[in-house]
Amino acid sequence: MTTDVFKLSLDKDTYKGTVSVSTGLFIDGKFVKPVEGGTIDVLNPATGKVITTVSGGSDKDVDLAVDAATKAYKTSWGLKVPGSTRGQMLLKLASLVEQNIEEFAALESMNNGKIFPSTKAEVTNAVALFRYYAGWADKVHGKTIETTENKMAYTRHEPFGAVAAIIPWNSPFYMLSFKIGPALATGNTIVLKPSEITPLTALKFAGLVNEAGFPPGVVNIVNGYGSTVGAALASHPLIRKIAFTGSTLTGRKILEASAKSNLKVVSLELGGKSPVVVFDDADVEQAVKWIAGGIFNNMGQTCIAGSRIFVQEGVYDSFVKGLADYARNMQTQTGDPFAKGTVHGPQISETQFKRVMSYISSGKSDGANVVVGGEQHGSEGFFIKPTLFTECTQDMKFVKEEIFGPVAAVMRFKSEEEVLEKANDTTYGLGAGVFTQNSSRAIRVAHAFEAGSTFW
């Protein structure tokens, strides 16, 4: 069953060329229409207008994809294919993506709103990830252990079988490479659900799978809503493992669905409200530069974004001035993600735009001071000015909860003990950062953070 192909010619500052992608579901090595004929409009967040319409799957399509993945694992993949062969296919796939880097980046910028240099860098990094995982394909092995005299035991690593992945909209293709690369390298087959908001690069990728030599059913891409396709994958009895990157709320639902179905293994990478600490011996100029990037990059739509900024009293004023100047300068470089000089694009959707604006309103109502930003940029698309709040307290809603937008809360502190207590006073634990020129303190504070990743 053939599906439609979306094609568009672009004449932009940073990209001049044609983008094209099949709009169907990719199941068992073919693009197909969904069983129930569902469709989803794909928007350009810079304009708020529809780019194209793609297929939207249902639980019936998930069943077909999982059946294809299960069959492929048993007949043409898994332990039947040597690791060296799997690695060669991944290398071929990486080369095919590399040949189309600019088109992938253009699709991502148009669909996601991220500036073109950033999407191009992310696709380039995805190519490197595929090559990295290709190198591991023939190096995953167990151990031999001497137990008692004349006896030994050995372990071996085996694939799960058919696995699933659900990826977010903030860095779609980069997240795809993180999920698909290791799954294929270790002999698993996979059903991947991209975000229904940003499916285009996943569908473009699907068009390269056969050319790279992968047997039908090894890779399946089923676009659709989380409440249908995502829920079906999480509860499917033949999916042996599921990996998810996204919101904490959805992560809880996936854990629950796993427990109620076949107790599939679950890997989750969820939300964050990362603290960043600036001590009074820090290089303020460097701190401003890196912290601005940490909170305003990708319009604040990064799970590890450093949104709670604690600054010691001695450098508080100079830091706030520096970050405010940085944010004001970004306002003059906000606009079309394809335009030269643009550094700040739109939020991903109207829903996310309204969510961020509601948190900004909450901060204002709670008495925090808006130093810069705090409002929409322009009248078209989903743009929000980089926003800086001061006079914040730990109990304010916008300080406690993940916003996923370009909103920074700056708070002052006096002592190391005080700031560590405040930094760790959160339900999240994804990341943290510290700026100081005292290496002993940097290490001490980094170790004291209750976070999975620490930057210093």
Q: Please identify every residue annotated as catalytic.
A: 269
SS3 content of the chain, % helix, strand, coil (to 5): 40, 20, 35
d(CA 265, CA 15): 42
d(CA 249, CA 402): 12
Two structure tokens written together for 290: 């890196």
Which of 239, 63, 61 has its CA nearest to residue 163? 239
- 107 neighbors 21 (Cβ within 8 angstroms): yes
Per-position b or e across 90-121, b if 16+ CB within 10 A of its CB: bbbbbebbbebbbbbbbbbbbbbbbbbebbbe
For residue 270, count other CB atoms closer than 10 A to its CB: 18
d(CA 418, CA 431): 19
- 161 neighbors 73 (Cβ within 8 angstroms): yes
d(CA 285, CA 137): 44
Length of the chain: 456
- 412 neighbors 312 (Cβ within 8 angstroms): yes
For residue 50, count other CB atoms closer than 10 A to its CB: 10
Cα torsion 292, 413, 361, 430: sign: positive
Residue 365 carries which side chain, given as an amino acid letter?
A: S
* H-only helix segments in 264-349: 284-296, 313-331
Helix axes 172-185, 83-99, angle to 10 degrees: 160
Which of 63, 428, 56 has its CA nearest to residue 268? 428
| Residues forming beta bridges with residue 22, ordered by sequence position | 5
d(CA 451, CA 295): 17
Provide the total of helices (H) and of strands (E) in the chain, helices listed first: 14, 20
Helix axes 101-112, 172-185, angle to 10 degrees: 130
d(CA 345, CA 46): 7
